[in-house]
């Protein structure tokens, strides 16, 4: 398939588990680095602004995981038990996650903020047998009937509510985690089942930015390969310190031998995280790695730029979830030490990482092409990944055929195959038919390709460019418009924070309309702004026909990253406002 792989980094010690379970990586770290800090959780900030943490070493975390394995087994959670985990990022979240992995159970992970209807649909489809959550999660489960027919095991993390609610007004039932844990003596070892790399390890639900979220089935081998890909792509070393503002990335920290410093923030609203608090944690704890959503990165970049603060201790910054404006990348990159980059790995819940690019290539390079309507360059293909571009259509593709591949420069749908690609959705035949392509004749049965649903192209250098989502294309009488490729032109206006292209009317006869979100504090004269936006669009053939604009007070975005724009909602608003 088309696409050149990134050059691999120097050989490094692998944490690949002999039995194909990511939890064995924790066991190995506890053996090799027992007293090093694995995870630390903020508990208070003193009068001088210093953050105080509760800390667990790798040995302590490993021992706690063993203890929880016995506790969970005592109520029937075992190998293959689908288990909803709704616990905020904390030491307990880390321990429970690794305990479920060690047991061979299957964590079901959803974003609690995706909305009540979506949550109910996701959990009903996942049909979990167990539910581990804090009191708020159990209250919502009872009120809204999440997975009512399948859940048989209920464990409350923290205290149950008192009064009539706790006494049985709602069907709460089940023990607390603390009561189960007290039954198990400290430092009680646990020998889990020998899981295989192709066994289901977790069900991770997509963000639902283009429809109802779907549960991607992750095998243990996917997690193990992701660890190695991250290590190789970004030269991550044991002993580093990470500030994981996306909770699931923190689980990789443990397997990579990094210390996870849990930030004090609302993880359902990363765009509202206090940049001053994040900066304080970075400086106080000697953070070397930062994973930030585009919304969080934007606020942090502007904060350090306005105050002239440098970040010499960071070795890298990673940002994913949506395209990151080149201007924000440049702002932050200027505050980093020479040679340190802001990396934007590309992929999806079903496959990550697929490609990657750093700020050295973006600033003054591909970022300029983005403002000229070229789309967003997501870089070179990660090692071991096969990536191609095929013609755009919505029909299922039963079997792979290399003849489908388009030539460099041609825009089509991005298709990927590799060890980090989820091969199926849980209980979603329609989703599998639409997104999965079976192996070509002669290929192994596991050679499943995933249609990402993104539009893209390869350039002459073998780099992949993202043009927008297939579902978001605007179908005008003169042909289709790709959202990201068009929006990059208008996003270059200094008063514009971001734009979103939507289509009004029926497919094939849609009228393009550009929704505009202004920079905070920016209040240009509307007539002047509209004239300047039209002048920007007139520079390029594919944007010249966009002459309808509407100012929006604040785009609706996803909970996970606060960056993926819900264009369907904007289209409804634009058609009725």
Query: Using CA atoms, how far apart are residues 252 and 248, in angstroms rounded to an integer?
Result: 7
Q: Residue 272 gets which letter from DSSP? A: G
How far, CA to CA in Å, does 513 sit from each of 322, 432, 504, 557, 566? Answer: 21, 32, 7, 18, 15
Alpha-carbon Rg of the chain, whole angstroms?
A: 24
- List, in order, residues 6 or more apart from 96 with CB less than 8 Å away: 68, 85, 87, 132, 157, 177
537 in any annotated domain = yes
* pLDDT of 4: 41
Domain containing residue 405? 385-472
Residues 526 and 462 in one domain: no
Final residue of a structural domain among 191, 220, 249: 220
* pLDDT of 413: 98
- List, in order, residues 6 or more apart from 520 with CB less than 8 Å away: 497
* pLDDT of 558: 81
Query: Using CA atoms, how far apart are residues 250 and 239, in angstroms rounded to an integer?
Result: 14
For residue 87, is pLDDT > 80?
Answer: yes
Termini Cα distance of the chain:
45
For residue 405, is pLDDT > 60?
Answer: yes
Residues 91 and 166 in one domain: yes
* pLDDT of 197: 93
Residues 548 and 425 in one domain: no
Bridge partners of 414, per DSSP, are 389
- List, in order, residues 6 or more apart from 485 with CB less than 8 Å away: 373, 374, 375, 467, 468, 542
Residues 479 and 463 in one domain: no
Residues 50 and 154 in one domain: yes
Average pLDDT over residues 133-140: 93
For residue 19, is pLDDT > 70?
Answer: no
* pLDDT of 404: 98
303 in any annotated domain = no
For residue 6, is pLDDT > 50?
Answer: no
Final residue of a structural domain among 220, 249, 281: 220
Residues 446 and 510 in one domain: no
Q: What is the mean pLDDT of the chain?
A: 92
Query: Using CA atoms, how far apart are residues 502 and 196, in angstroms rounded to an integer?
Result: 45
Query: Using CA atoms, how far apart are residues 317 and 303, in angstroms rounded to an integer?
Result: 16
Residues 395 and 534 in one domain: no
> Per residue in 502-518, pLDDT tens?
999 999 999 999 999 99
CB distance 108 to 137 below 8 Å: no
What is the CA angle 218-406-393, rounded to 5?
65
Which runs of E-coded beta strand occur in 477-523?
A: 479-481, 496-504, 511-518
CATH number at residue 512: 3.30.300.30
182-190 contact pairs (CB < 8 A, 24+): 183/71, 183/74, 184/67, 184/70, 184/71, 184/74, 186/63, 186/67, 187/63, 187/66, 187/67, 188/66, 188/67, 188/70, 189/66, 190/65, 190/66, 190/67, 190/69, 190/70, 190/102
What is the CA angle 313-317-322, rounded to 5?
160
For residue 423, is pLDDT > 70?
Answer: yes
Residues 397 and 544 in one domain: no
* pLDDT of 560: 76
CATH number at residue 195: 3.40.50.12780
- DSSP alpha helices (H): ranges in 185-323? 220-234, 247-256, 275-285, 294-307
With cut-offs at 50, 70 and 90, classify the pLDDT of residue 45: confident
Neighbour tally for 137: CB within 10 Å:
20
187 in any annotated domain = yes
Q: Six-digit token pair at 329? A: 């990348």
103 in any annotated domain = yes
Burial (CB < 10 A; 0-12, 13-18, 19+), residue 436, is: buried
> Per residue in 428-448, pLDDT tens?
999 999 999 999 999 999 999
* pLDDT of 14: 45
57 in any annotated domain = yes
> Per residue in 526-538, pLDDT tens?
899 999 999 999 9
302 in any annotated domain = no
Q: Which one is predicted more confidently, 199 or 576?
A: 199
- List, in order, residues 6 or more apart from 480 with CB less than 8 Å away: 392, 473, 474
What percent of the chain is predicted at pLDDT more than 90? Answer: 82
CATH number at residue 433: 2.30.38.10
Nearest CA among 527, 523, 521, 475 for reference residue 501: 475
> Per residue in 144-185, pLDDT tens?
999 999 999 999 999 887 655 554 555 678 999 999 999 999
Residues 210 and 65 in one domain: yes
Structurally, how many domains does the chain consist of?
3
| Buried residues in 91-130 as b, exposed as e (16+ CB within 10 A) | bbbbbbbbbbbbbbbbbbbbbbebeeebbbbbbbbbebbb
Query: Using CA atoms, how far apart are residues 492 and 495, in angstroms rounded to an integer?
Result: 9
286 in any annotated domain = no
Q: HSE-up of 169 (CA within 13 Å, CB side)?
A: 9
Q: Six-digit token pair at 191? A: 């020998």
> Per residue in 254-281, pLDDT tens?
999 999 999 999 888 888 899 999 999 9
Residues 79 and 33 in one domain: yes
- DSSP alpha helices (H): ranges in 494-559? 526-537
Final residue of a structural domain among 220, 245, 267: 220
Residues 411 and 505 in one domain: no
Total-model pTM = 0.93
What is the CA angle 321-246-112, rounded to 5?
90
Neighbour tally for 160: CB within 10 Å:
14
* pLDDT of 577: 54
Nearest CA among 263, 253, 241 for reference residue 42: 263
* pLDDT of 228: 95
> Per residue in 542-574, pLDDT tens?
999 999 999 999 999 887 777 889 999 999 998
Residues 492 and 464 in one domain: no
Query: Using CA atoms, how far apart are residues 259 and 266, in angstroms rounded to an integer?
Result: 20
| Buried residues in 212-245 as b, exposed as e (16+ CB within 10 A) | ebbbbbbbbbbbbbbbbbbbbbbebebebbbbbb
275 in any annotated domain = no
For residue 11, is pLDDT > 80?
Answer: no
Q: Six-digit token pair at 17? A: 């588990």
- List, in order, residues 6 or more apart from 518 with CB less than 8 Å away: 495, 496, 497, 524, 551
């Amino acid at each position: 398939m088309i696409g050149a792989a990134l050059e691999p980094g120097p050989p490094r010690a692998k944490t690949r588990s002999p039995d194909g379970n990511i939890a064995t990586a924790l066991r190995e770290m506890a053996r090799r680095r027992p007293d090093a800090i694995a995870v630390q959780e903020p508990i208070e900030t003193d009068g001088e602004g210093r953050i105080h943490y509760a800390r667990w070493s790798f040995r302590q975390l490993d021992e706690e995981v063993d203890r929880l394995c016995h506790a969970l087994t005592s109520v029937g959670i075992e190998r293959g038990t689908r288990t909803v985990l709704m616990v905020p990022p904390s030491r307990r979240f880390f321990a429970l996650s690794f305990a479920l992995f060690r047991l061979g159970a299957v964590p079901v992970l959803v974003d609690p903020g995706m909305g009540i209807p979506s949550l109910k649909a996701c959990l009903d489809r996942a049909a979990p047998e167990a539910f581990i959550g804090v009191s708020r999660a159990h209250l919502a489960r009872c009120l809204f009937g999440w997975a009512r027919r399948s859940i048989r095991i209920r464990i409350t993390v923290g205290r149950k509510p008192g009064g009539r609610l706790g006494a049985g007004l709602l069907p709460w039932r089940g023990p607390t985690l603390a009561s189960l844990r007290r039954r198990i003596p400290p430092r009680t070892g646990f020998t889990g089942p020998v899981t295989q790399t192709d066994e289901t390890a977790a069900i991770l639900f997509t963000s639902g930015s283009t429809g109802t979220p779907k549960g991607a089935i992750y095998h243990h081998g996917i997690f193990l390969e992701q660890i190695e890909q991250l290590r190789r792509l970004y030269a991550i070393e044991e002993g580093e310190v990470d500030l994981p503002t996306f909770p699931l990335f923190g689980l990789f920290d443990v397997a990579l031998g990094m210390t996870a410093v849990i930030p004090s923030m609302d993880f359902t609203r990363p765009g509202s995280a206090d940049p001053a608090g994040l900066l304080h944690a970075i400086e106080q704890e000697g953070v070397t790695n930062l994973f930030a959503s585009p919304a969080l990165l934007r606020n942090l970049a502007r904060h350090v730029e306005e105050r002239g603060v440098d970040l010499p201790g960071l070795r890298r910054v990673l940002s994913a979830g949506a395209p990151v404006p080149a201007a924000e990348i440049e702002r932050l990159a200027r505050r980093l030490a020479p040679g340190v980059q802001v990396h934007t790995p590309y992929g999806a819940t079903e496959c990550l990482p697929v490609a990657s690019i750093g700020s050295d290539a973006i600033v003054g390079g591909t970022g300029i092409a983005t403002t000229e309507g070229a789309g967003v360059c997501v870089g070179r293909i990660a090692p071991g990944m096969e990536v191609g571009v095929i013609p755009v259509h919505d029909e299922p593709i039963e079997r792979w055929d290399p003849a489908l591949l388009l030539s460099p420069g041609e825009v089509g749908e991005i298709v990927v195959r590799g060890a980090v690609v989820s091969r199926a959705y849980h209980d979603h035949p329609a989703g599998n038919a639409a997104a999965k392509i079976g192996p070509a004749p002669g290929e192994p049965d596991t050679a499943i390709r995933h249609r990402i649903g993104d539009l893209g192209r390869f350039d002459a250098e073998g780099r992949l460019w993202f043009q927008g989502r297939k579902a978001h294309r605007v179908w005008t009488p003169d042909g289709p418009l790709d959202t990201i490729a068009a929006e990059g032109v208008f996003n270059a206006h200094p008063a514009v924070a971001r734009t979103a292209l939507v289509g009004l009317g029926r497919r094939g006869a849609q009228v393009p309309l550009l929704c505009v979100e202004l920079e905070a504090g920016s209040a240009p004269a509307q007539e002047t702004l509209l004239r300047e936006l039209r002048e920007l669009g007139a520079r390029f053939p594919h944007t010249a026909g966009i002459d309808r604009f509407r100012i929006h007070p604040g785009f609706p975005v996803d909970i996970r990253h606060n960056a993926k724009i819900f264009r369907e909602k904007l289209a409804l608003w634009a058609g009725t406002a």
